[in-house]
Amino acid sequence: MHTLDQLNAMPATEFVAALDGVFEHANWVAEHAARARPFATVTELHGALMAAVHAAPADVCLGFLRGHPPLSPKALADPGLTASSRSEQGGLGMTSLGDRLAAFETGSAAYEARFGFPYIVCVRRQTPPFVLKGLERRLANSPDQERAAALAEIGYITRLRLVDRVNGPGMPKTAGHLSCHVLDTARGKAAEGIKIELFREGVLVLESVTNHDGRTEAPLLSGEPLRTGRYELRFHVEDYYAGWPNVTDPPWFDVIPVRFGVSDPEGRYHIPLLLGAWTYTTYRGS
């Protein structure tokens, strides 16, 4: 971890070494950007790095794209994979695609045949179904469109890698935010002690519980991009209602599922639940 001040002050070779791996097998990117120092903000540093990529001759750029590892469970077994790529792909979990993994492998091969470089996507911003969906959509691009799309994804990838390595002013926004709030509109106060499960594309991501303010102590998700996909909060309210008048067996509500889609990985999502005795309301909050 370096500060931006340190990066601004160090010799160019050290600067390049400090950013080694941010751009996959492409230290020439940092070499170019080094000349533009000093940078006032981390966002400016990232801009300079991406500008170097965009300014590179077409064949150099193509070589850079070709230098990316394929996105595939098999690639994880390749000892030549960079640590960043290994961690990013490992966190994605493409095997959860099950039957559709074969379609993804076929599509990836078609993509590489068509465009001459592997399908590149910032996987920290995605769930496997949307990685697959994006592949299908991008296969229809023209070569120019697709080169731009791949570079846009590289922008996302390297922005995330950069903020993991540099501290300084003007950090680019790389994180989303997901929170919830349970109000008890039957009693006119926050609903405390309600267990919450968060699922993403059918996979349990975390469990939490509401505090005296009807919120979880920490945001459900923050500090990372929210992965694009379908989410479900499950509010376990059966115990909360126990002892209320007219509780039936089974109770009217036991678990309240709230499904919603996350389309903006850097977005702010807030899910209130207004809980009455025989009713509830949910909405996209702010």
The binding site for a second copy (CB under 8 A) comprises 130, 183, 185-190, 213-214, 228-230, 246, 248-257, 259-264, 274, 276-286
**First CA to last CA distance, the chain:** 34
Which of 95/281 has CB closer to a second copy?
281
Which of 117/253 has CB closer to a second copy?
253
CB of 282 to a second copy, least distance (A): 6
CB of 249 to a second copy, least distance (A): 6
CB of 54 to a second copy, least distance (A): 27
Residue 51 is encoded by which pair of tokens? 């500008």
CB of 137 to a second copy, least distance (A): 10
Nearest CA among 216, 211, 199 for reference residue 270 = 216
Sign of CA dihedral 186, 192, 197, 200: positive
Nearest CA among 49, 47, 18 for reference residue 33 = 49
Classify residue 191 as left (phi > 0), alpha (psi -120 to 50) or beta: beta
Cβ contact 34:22 at 8 Å = no
Which of 203/255 has CB closer to a second copy?
255
Euclidean distance between CA atoms 200 and 209, whole angstroms? 18
Strands 177-184 and 268-275: parallel
Q: Is 255 helix (H, G, I), strand (E, B) or coil?
A: strand
Which of 64/269 has CB closer to a second copy?
269
Which of 128/214 has CB closer to a second copy?
214
Cβ contact 194:210 at 8 Å = yes
CB of 257 to a second copy, least distance (A): 5
Residue 192 is encoded by which pair of tokens? 């405390």
Which of 59/249 has CB closer to a second copy?
249
CB of 262 to a second copy, least distance (A): 7
